A and B are shown apart, each in its own frame.
Chain A
Amino acid sequence: MLVQQIINGIVVGSVYALTAMGATLVYGIMRILDISNAGAYAIGAYVAFFFLLQTGSPLVALVTGVALTAVFGFLVQKFLYAPLMNKSPNVSLIAGIGLFIFLQDFLRLVAGPQARELNFGTLLPSIQFPSLQLTLYGTWFLILAATALLLLILWLLLNRSPIGLAWRATAQDLETAKAMGINTNRVVAFNFILGYGFAAVAGILVGILYNSVYPTMGDVPAYKMLAVIVLGGLGNPLGTVLAALVIGMAETLIGGYVGFFLPRDAIAFVVLILILLWRPQGLLGRRRSS
C-alpha cells in the first residue's frame, strides 16, 4: 500500500514537473507567468486524440501532438508576447489568461464539451502483485520513462549546448546578453517552442493516464503549474522538478493516509502555503537582493 502510494506520488509529481516546465522556461527568460501554457496542455492532448482517431498510430499521435503544439508556442510568442514585451508584465499576464480562456472555448466549439477517450491502454499492460497489494500500471512506466528522458534531454540542452548557454545568459540578464551578440529573439522563440512542447507531452500523458481529454482539462493544471513554479523558486528548472515531486507526493500521501478531509487539489495548495511561509523564495530560489 505504501509502495503503491509512493510510486503514484512520483508519477503524479512527474506529470506536474512536465506541466510546469514549459511555464518555468518561459518565466526564466520573460519574467511573465504564461497561463496559456496550460492551454497548450489541452491542445497537445486534443491534437494527439485527433491523430490517433485518424491514423490509429500512437506514435504519429504523440509526435504530431507535440510538434504542432510547439509550432503553436512559436506563434503565441511571435504574435502575442513579443508585441507586449516592453509593456508591464501585468499586460502579458492578462493577455495570457485571455488566450487560455479562448483556447478552452475554442476546443469546446471544435470538439464538443464532452470528455473523449485517449486510449493507448491496450499497449500498456498492468503488472499485479496481489500478495503485496501492489498494481503497477503500464501507463505509469510510460510516464516515468518519458519524464526521465525529457528531463535528461532538457538538462543536456541547457547545460551542455551553446543554445543552453545562450538561454542561461539571457535568463540572467536579457539586456546584457543582447549587447554581447546573442540574438535574444531567437532564444525567446526557442524557449516557447520547447515550453509548449513540454506542455503538450504533459497533456498527452495525462490524457493517457486518465484515459480522457476534455476542453477544460487544463484548468486545474494551470493552478497547479503556478503552485509548482512558485514553490520551485520561479524560473528555476531544477526547483520546478523538486517542487512538482513534493506536491505530487504530498497530495498522494496525505490524501491516501490522513484521509480526504480536503479534496486532493486543496491539499496541494495547503502544502504550497505552508512551504512558502517557511521559505518565501521557494525551494531553490535565491533571495533577490536589490
Chain B
Amino acid sequence: MLEIRNLNAHYGHSQVLYDISIDVKAGEFVSIIGANGAGKSTLMKVIMGLVPVSSGKLLFKGNEISRLEPWQRAGMKIAYVPEGRRVFGELTVAENLRIGGWVEPPQDLPRRVEKVVAIFPRLGERMNQAARTMSGGEQQMLAIGRALMLEPELLLVDEISMGLMPILVNRCFEVLKQLSEAGTTILLVEQNARKALGVSHRGYVLETGHIVLEGEATRLRDDDAVRRAYLGG
C-alpha cells in the first residue's frame, strides 16, 4: 500500500532522513521505533506532504504522491494523528470531527461521528465543548477520532503514548490494535518500543535518520541490540 524507496529529506538546511526504504502492505500494522530526534516525526510529515521529499520515491497504492499537496493526500484517504495531538483547541469536539472528515461527503458525516463515538464514548459526551478544555487523554482520543472520520486506508500515527498516563496509553494501543484487526492499515512511529512492537506485525528501527534494522515485531523484541537500546535491557 505504501512504498518508500531510497528517500532523502531535509528540514530547513539539514538532512534528517537518509536513504529510507519502508514497505507497508495492505492490512499491515507497522511500527517505526527510535529515540527522540531520530527523524520519526519528519518521516510522518514527509508521507503526509508537510515536509518535501528531496529525492527518492514515495508511492501510495502504486502512485507517486510526493508532488501532491497534503489535502490531496488526505483525499486519497491517508489520515494523520500528529505528534502532540494538535487538536483545534478553540473549536468544539464536533467541529474537530467535522474537519477530520473535510474531504468526505457532508451527508455521510453523522454516520462516521457515530462510529467514532462508539469507539470513544467520552467524545460523545463532550461534543459541544472546546477541545482545549479537555484532558490530555481526551484530546488524544479526539486526535485519533478526527483521523478516523476519514475512514482511512492508511492511518499514520505519530507518538500515541507521549504525555499520557499509563492507563490511557494502554487504552490507545488497544484501540489501534482493534482498528488493525478490523482491517485498517497502520503506520505508527513510537518511542515506547515495547508497546509498539507488542501490537504491530512488523517494525523498523530508525537511528539518526537511517533505518538500521527491520523485521517481524516478535523478532525485533528478541533482538539483543534492540533490547539494550530501546527496551531497557
A residues with a Cβ closer than 8 A to B are: 162, 165-166, 168-169, 172-173, 175-185
Tell me if B71 and A176 are in contact (CB < 8 A): no
Residues 56-92 of B, flagged 1 when their CB comes within 8 A of A and 0 if not, give: 0000000000000111001100001010001011110
CA–CA, A180 and B146, complex, Å: 9
Q: A169: which B residues are within 8 A, CB to CB?
A: 88, 91, 95, 99
CA–CA, A176 and B88, complex, Å: 9
Tell me if A165 and B99 are in contact (CB < 8 A): yes
* Interface pairs (24), CB distance under 8 Å: A165-B91, A165-B95, A166-B99, A168-B91, A169-B95, A172-B91, A175-B50, A175-B86, A176-B82, A176-B86, A177-B88, A178-B49, A178-B50, A178-B70, A178-B71, A179-B80, A179-B82, A180-B100, A180-B146, A181-B70, A181-B75, A182-B71, A182-B99, A183-B71
Which of the listed residues A173, A181, A183, A185 has the most CB atoms from chain B within 10 Å of its own CB? Answer: A181
Tell me if B48 and A179 are in contact (CB < 8 A): yes
Tell me if B86 and A181 are in contact (CB < 8 A): no
Q: A179: which B residues are within 8 A, CB to CB?
A: 48-50, 70, 74, 80, 82
CA–CA, A177 and B69, complex, Å: 12
Which of the listed residues B71, B80, B89 has the most CB atoms from chain A within 10 Å of its own CB? Answer: B71
Q: B82: which A residues are within 8 A, CB to CB?
A: 175-176, 179
A280 to chain B, nearest CB (A): 21
CA–CA, A166 and B49, complex, Å: 19
Q: A177: which B residues are within 8 A, CB to CB?
A: 88, 99
Q: B50: which A residues are within 8 A, CB to CB?
A: 175, 178-179
CA–CA, A175 and B89, complex, Å: 14
CA–CA, A88 and B15, complex, Å: 20
Asked if B40 is at the interface (CB within 8 A of a chain A CB), the reply is: no
B113 to chain A, nearest CB (A): 15
CA–CA, A64 and B179, complex, Å: 55
Q: B91: which A residues are within 8 A, CB to CB?
A: 165, 168-169, 172
Q: Which residue of B lies closest to A184 (CB)?
A: B71
